[in-house]
Structure 1
Amino acid sequence: MDGPCDEARLFATYRHFALANRVVSGWRRLYVRRVRPLLADASGGTRLLDVGFGGGDIPRALAAWADADGLRLDVTAIDPDERALRFARGVDRGGRVRYLAATSHELLGAGERFDMVVSNHVLHHLADAERDALLADSSGFGARLVIHDDIERSRLAYAAWAVGALPFALDSFALVDGLRSIRRSYTERELAALAPGWRVERLFPWRLLLVHEDWR
């Protein structure tokens, strides 16, 4: 899906991945355990950046959960793919999230600052230099909390997606893209070796979190 493809199937893939994310990505737990305490502790509004939003379901969910808790969260979501921008703006009827076709480097260069930076299923798409640049940008925003949530590569995860995504195979890229993503993703040891100074945490099922916290 990184290159040219049928847009209708791409948009169907975004919808299917939103369902999968609700089941396995763990963002509800991360919001309750990591994000909400920082929002409750903030004296003013809190700015959050989502990098590589894809279909935009994660930033929309974070904004909705904060609203439901009566907490102030200003969410910006970026993705360089204009197709992702069109899809996300089309389904976000409430307009609660600011979507931009941009990169983290562009926002950092423009002087933007964020209290939290997150991503979902982005790391395994990046070449080494791109990954290192994203981690440097994430730290450069001055965020108190950075969480890059990705897949933990395993044979069991591959087999589970090969079976579980079969209903999505006909109208979208969800099956083939998901299997490709699992093959490209990291083990806990591999990710730790690639990101010195960051903490790697495991989250059930088959998730790896690359975490950086700054409490200054």
Structure 2
Amino acid sequence: MSIFRNLSKRAPEDELMDDFSMGGEELSEALVHLRRLNKIFAAPGPTRYGVEKLWKMIGSPQKLSILDVGAGSGDVNRKLLQWANEKGIDLHIILVDLTEEACREAEVLFKDEPRIEVRQADVRELPDAMADVVTGSQFVHHFVGDDLIDIVSHMLRASRHGVVINDIHRHKVSYTAVWLTTRLISRNRYIRHDGPLSVAKGFTSADWKDLKQKLNHDSMTYAWKPMFRYAVVIPRNHKPALTAEGGAAGHGK
């Protein structure tokens, strides 16, 4: 993965982590190193921001359930547990990932945390309204085109109140920073390849605007957050935009 890359459009190629035939000890090691990257680049912040914003929108309930899809080892949720302690919220978090390695890492990381539940599953096969809020941290950049619309729609379907997305800002500064950092902290093939590629597959404000239009979701908001991330909030109950003829437009439900 070269340090020089055209970032004018989202990169189309798959990450190594998208190949579920690989895995094993190398993937498990990558998940440990990914936690270091998340700490360095303040990954949990946008998720906490988005969850708190949606929580306030639904009346600040004292009991809240969260479904984190594509969770990896789920480390960004530590900040949500701290937030729940501060607010006195009875919080339950379900971590969902497709890979056995990620689920095993999550179980070890949260072995003494009764508020965390781990499941190996595909979000597209989960039941409707499974949790109050569905989150995805560094998850949706794995999808492009119609697949992106489909996966976000499934996230909305699995939520009772809405979706919070935390993902990477595609920018030359973030790309260069991640490229250099991955080479400083790790020799793992997944980290060195997928880290920079994740940024190249990330989003700009124009991409979020396009997603908002394709979802036909007027109440969707997105905000830039340090360090080069976006916090996206999509409330579950919204009124579809109307066409000039008065009918509902787009793909939204």
Identify the TM-score tier after normalising by the shorter chain.
Answer: 0.7 to 0.9
Once the two structures are overlaid, the 10-residue window that deviates more, 182-191 or 3-12, is 3-12
Unaligned residue ranges in structure 1 (runs of 5+) = none
Once the two structures are overlaid, the 10-residue window that deviates more, 198-207 or 135-144, is 135-144
Alpha-carbon shift at residue 122 of structure 1 (Å): 0.8
Determine what percentage of the aligned residue pairs are the same residue.
21
Once the two structures are overlaid, the 10-residue window that deviates more, 142-151 or 119-128, is 142-151
Once the two structures are overlaid, the 10-residue window that deviates more, 7-16 or 137-146, is 137-146
1:199 paired residue number: 221
Distance in 2, Cα, partners of 1:143 & 1:94: 28
1:165 aligned counterpart, secondary structure: helix
Alpha-carbon shift at residue 29 of structure 1 (Å): 6.0
Give 1:2's match in structure 2, choosing from 11, 18, 37.
18
Alpha-carbon shift at residue 25 of structure 1 (Å): 4.1
1:210 paired residue number: 232
What do residues 13-63 of structure 1 show as CA deviations (whole Å, max 9, x unaligned)?
A: 2122212223324524652674288388215x2111101001221234423
Unaligned residue ranges in structure 2 (runs of 5+) = 1-16, 239-253
2:187 paired residue number: 170
Alpha-carbon shift at residue 194 of structure 1 (Å): 2.7
Shift >4 Å, 4+ stretches: none
Distance in 1, Cα, partners of 2:72 & 2:50: 24
Relative contact order, higher structure (CA 8 A, sep 6+):
2
2:234 aligned counterpart, secondary structure: strand
Alpha-carbon shift at residue 179 of structure 1 (Å): 0.8
Distance in 2, Cα, partners of 1:51 & 1:33: 15
Alpha carbons 2:54, 2:233 under 8 Å: kept: no
Distance in 1, Cα, partners of 2:55 & 2:23: 40
1:63 paired residue number: 81
2:98 aligned counterpart, secondary structure: coil
Alpha-carbon shift at residue 85 of structure 1 (Å): 1.2
Distance in 2, Cα, partners of 1:47 & 1:14: 24
What do residues 152-210 of structure 1 show as CA deviations (whole Å, max 9, x unaligned)?
A: 11111111112222223324522221111111112210232133223222112211222
2:109 paired residue number: 91
2:94 paired residue number: 76
Tell me which structure has the larger Cα radius of gyration: 2
Distance in 2, Cα, partners of 1:182 & 1:65: 27
Alpha carbons 1:145, 1:212 under 8 Å: kept: yes
More helix by share: 1
Alpha-carbon shift at residue 79 of structure 1 (Å): 0.9
Mapped pair 1:53 → 2:71: yes
Alpha carbons 1:112, 1:141 under 8 Å: kept: yes
The alignment of Structure 1 onto Structure 2 pairs a total of residues equal to 213
Alpha carbons 2:46, 2:225 under 8 Å: kept: no
What do residues 76-125 of structure 1 show as CA deviations (whole Å, max 9, x unaligned)?
A: 111111221122112322143111111222222xx443211111111111
